[in-house]
Structure 1
Amino acid sequence: MNQPSQKRPKKLLDQVRDAIRRKHYSIRTEEAYVRWIRRYILYHGKRHPKDMGIPEIEAFLTHLAVDRKVAASTQNQALNAILFLYREVLKQDLEGRINAIRAKRPKRLPTVLSREEVRRVLDAMSGTPQLIAKLLYGSGLRLMEAVRLRVKDLDFAQHQVVVRDGKGMKDRVTVLPDSLIAPLQEHLQRVKLIHERDLAKGYGSVYLPYALERKYPNADREWIWQYVFPATALSKDPRTGVVRRHHVSESSVQKAVKKAAKLAGINKRVTCHTFRHSFATHLLENGYDIRTVQELLGHKDVRTTMVYTHILNRGAMAVRSPLDSNHGDQIAL
């Protein structure tokens, strides 16, 4: 009599993916964690993680800092991935502290554009990338927060943007510039036509966060849940295989900003995040208090926001060069 075949256990990395999806982590986090766990295993000659522990974790993290010279944030991501593996997948406690050589976090001031430089960069852009860049500067959004905006997140009546699940999984409210209301409303009229065409062809669904898709079975096709900045083409969801219209690619915006900065003749390293830095600095220059700016940016700790006080052009603590205070005096050299 044939023995019934036993179901083979899932591979370790598939178990990691399952655990990440149960926690509702983003696809980006899933890809990053799987990549770091694979590198950790390969570094130790494909030994199973259950047979390893703190010494092996320390060795791998030290290798990243000393040999690979990764940034502190990169090393922290690797550590978080490995801790997730042991806690959430292997259910294995790690006894003691992890004392790896840590990558040094450089103390750099953020790049900030003047108001004139912001105008020149924005004027060198057009279409959807320009509209997104104006939101980054006008509302202080991170790039991923902007491209993930849903129709319902724009409150035209209250002149505000609701940022859902921002960094640290926190919601916040920030300002919606008056000058963007009409352009955004015109943009949404065009987006709605795209959505209606998708529906007519049997598509029109959008990815919904967490368990909302199960709780509200038809919500994924409702207009209010659609992305404000949808992709130009339909694509297959890598997790479910469902054909949907995702949001616009962040890389397309990054390339557009880089190209515009070059066209505008800006001799600084300009990225999408530079607009957020400029938003914060210009608000402080306008006299808004640090706590207000902290809330608009969604910073957990006001010390993170305080970095912008060090790059103000003028302010209560601004220093005037002695050279500028000696206009008519002759200076001995």
Structure 2
Amino acid sequence: MNRTSLRPGGRLLDQLREHIRYRHYSLRTEEAYVHWVRAFIRWSGLRHPRELGGAEVERFLQHLAVEKKLAASSHRQALSALLFLYREVLGLNLPWMSQIGRPAAKPRVPTVLSQGEVGRLLHVMEGETALLGRLLYGTGMRLTEGLRLRVKDVDFERRVIIVRAGKGDKDRLVMLPQSLCTSLKQQIARAHALWVADRTGGNHGVELPDALGRKYPRAGESWAWFWIFPASTLSTDPRSGVIRRHHMHEKRMQRAMQTAVQAAQIHKQASVHTLRHSFATHALQSGTDIRTVQSLLGHADVATTMIYTHVLALQSSSVVSPLDTLCSLS
């Protein structure tokens, strides 16, 4: 077989993007898959993946694990990207593709803040990020789910929030904390001012899910679809190249969280996702049944939610350390 060379950003990666978008995968997944396929092509000396096979894929993954010291989760993502390339883009389904092992996920105990720590953390946060932090802790939403909230998704009368296309592309309902209603209405009023400015300036509407955007091309200009946490400036859509209003960038919230963790003198590896872990633990602690918590978190399997019961079990355990027994006798 003649050796075929590729440019790292050539036609194959364009085909990869097309197949990913056809399946409505997220932009984050697209960026990750393109990254790993490009890395594989470069590692192989720009050879076309059709000329390579299971042996080369395994050596590439070994290179990532041993030389690059890649985490198991990234290792699995790289393998998923290459399998997607071979199956969906190149149309191959060879025996070796089902024989490559994936590194096992190691169970990790989530970092959970006490209610006092959450209170200190939220107290030192300011502005929109403070409201978003309270919303994430008060509902258990993921960061991306909170950032993507639209005006139409908040029902103040029923005090519920509809989380659209969460993990696994599923919708779910979460509670709207009563204590946030006034602040959230004020945030929506600020968002409305930006929406009016966009309409007056003739700017493009916000991004819509693909099918809706094609069926109702003007819907993105409507107030109902506007972001609750819009970005302060316009930006270029990385897929379409259209300049429009996006939602607040996740890095802004992540930076605000890290600043607040230090200001609140919390000496734990806490991230924005820690608010979700803390919500689940505190909800179970207050007597909410595990099936309800599973539904609120959007977990497909209750076993995923069970990790929080393990955290609680240790906290409320009646097991006494032998050291404490020894000290009480002295």
TM-score, normalised via structure 2 length: 0.92
Separation in structure 2 between the aligned mates of residue 30 and residue 102 of structure 1, nearest angstrom: 20
Report the alpha carbon displacement of residue 69 of structure 1 after superposing the two structures with TM. 2.1
Kept in 2: contact 1:111–1:270 (CA 8 A): yes
- Give the distance between the partners of 1:256 and 1:327, measured in 2 at CA: 45
Q: How does 1:44-83 map to 2 (within 5 A)?
A: 44-83=44-83
1:207-226 to 2 correspondences below 5 Å? 207-226=207-226
- Equivalenced residues, count: 321
Distance 2:303 2:135 in 1: 24
Mapping for residues 293-308 of structure 1, pairs under 5 Å: 293-308=293-308
Letter in 1 for 2:40: Y
CA distance in 2, matches of 1:229, 1:247: 6
Deviation at 1:68, TM superposition (A): 2.0
* Secondary structure of residue in 2 paired with 1:233: strand
8 Å CA contact 1:112–1:277 kept in 2: the answer is yes
Q: Secondary structure at the match of 2:294?
A: helix
Match of 1:161, SS state, is strand
- What residue in structure 1 maps to residue 31 of structure 2? 31
Report matched runs for 1:249-268 at 5 Å.
Answer: 249-268=249-268
| Residues 131-280 of structure 1: pairs in structure 2 closer than 5 A | 131-280=131-280
Higher helix share: 2
Work out whether residues 294 and 302 of structure 1, in 8 Å CA contact, stay in contact via their aligned partners in 2: yes
CA–CA distance in structure 2, aligned partners of residues 103 and 64 of structure 1: 12
Deviations along 1:113-144, one digit per CA (max 9) or x if unpaired, are 01010000000101110111111100001111
Q: Distance in 2 between matches of 1:16 and 1:330?
A: 69
Question: Which letter maps to 1:141?
Answer: M
Which shifted more, 19-28 or 281-290? 19-28
In 2, are the aligned partners of 1:61 and 1:102 still within 8 Å (CA)? no
Q: Which segment drifts farther, 242-251 or 317-326?
A: 317-326
Contact 2:204 2:243 in 1 (8 A): no
Residue number in structure 2 paired with 1:318 = 317
Unpaired runs of at least 5, structure 2: 1-9
Secondary structure in 1 matching 2:162: strand
Contact 2:284/2:309 (8 A) holds in 1: yes
Please report how far the alpha carbon of residue 193 of structure 1 lies from its aligned counterpart in structure 2 after TM superposition: 1.0
Corresponding residue SS for 1:174: strand
Query: 1:89 & 1:320 partners in 2: Cα distance?
Result: 55
Matches of 1:76 and 1:153 in 2, distance apart? 34
Shift of 1:72: 1.8
Amino acid in structure 2 at the alignment position of 1:66: V
C-alpha displacement of 1:154: 1.1
The answer to whether the 8 Å contact 1:65/1:102 transfers is no
User: CA–CA distance in 2 between the matches of 1:324 and 1:46?
Assistant: 61
Q: CA deviation at 1:319?
A: 2.7
User: Do the aligned residues in 2 keep the contact of 1:136 with 1:142 (CA within 8 Å)?
Assistant: yes
- Comparing 291-300 with 155-164, greater Cα deviation is found at 155-164
Look up the equivalent residue of 1:292 and give its one-letter code.
T
Q: Is the 8 A contact 2:13 2:34 kept in 1?
A: yes
Would the aligned equivalents of 2:150 and 2:227 in 1 still touch at CA under 8 Å? yes
1:156–1:60 CA distance, 2 compared to 1 (3 A): same
**Counterpart amino acid of residue 72 in structure 1:** A
In structure 1, C-alpha distance between the alignment counterparts of 2:59 and 2:232, rounded to whole Å: 45
Query: Considering only aligned residues, what root-mean-square deviation do their CA atoms show, in Å?
Result: 2.0
In 1: Cα distance, 2:323 partner to 2:291 partner: 33
Matched-pair contact (CA < 8 Å) for 1:285–1:314: no
The gaps in structure 1 that reach 5 residues or longer are 1-9
Kept in 2, the 8 Å contact 1:54–1:98? The answer is: no
What is the aligned-residue identity percentage?
50
C-alpha displacement of 1:100: 4.4
**How far 1:20 moved relative to its partner?**
1.5
Distance 1:143 1:205, change over 3 A: same
Q: Take 1:71 and 1:329, find their aligned partners in 2: how far apart are those partners?
A: 44
Cross-structure match for 1:130: 130
State the partner residue of 1:3. none
Q: CA deviation at 1:62?
A: 2.3
Letter in 1 for 2:43: Y
Equivalent in the alignment of 1:6: none
**TM-score normalised by structure 1 residue count:** 0.91
Change (3 A) 1:50 1:265: same
Q: CA deviation at 1:150?
A: 0.9
What is residue 106 of structure 1 aligned with on the other side? 106
Q: Which amino acid aligns with 2:88?
A: E
Between 226-235 and 78-87, report the one with greater CA deviation: 78-87
C-alpha offsets along residues 241-281 of structure 1, whole Å, 9 cap, x if unaligned?
21100010100100001100100111111100000000000
C-alpha separation between the residues in 1 aligned to 2:277 and 2:77? 23
Contact 2:83–2:97 under 8 Å retained in 1: no
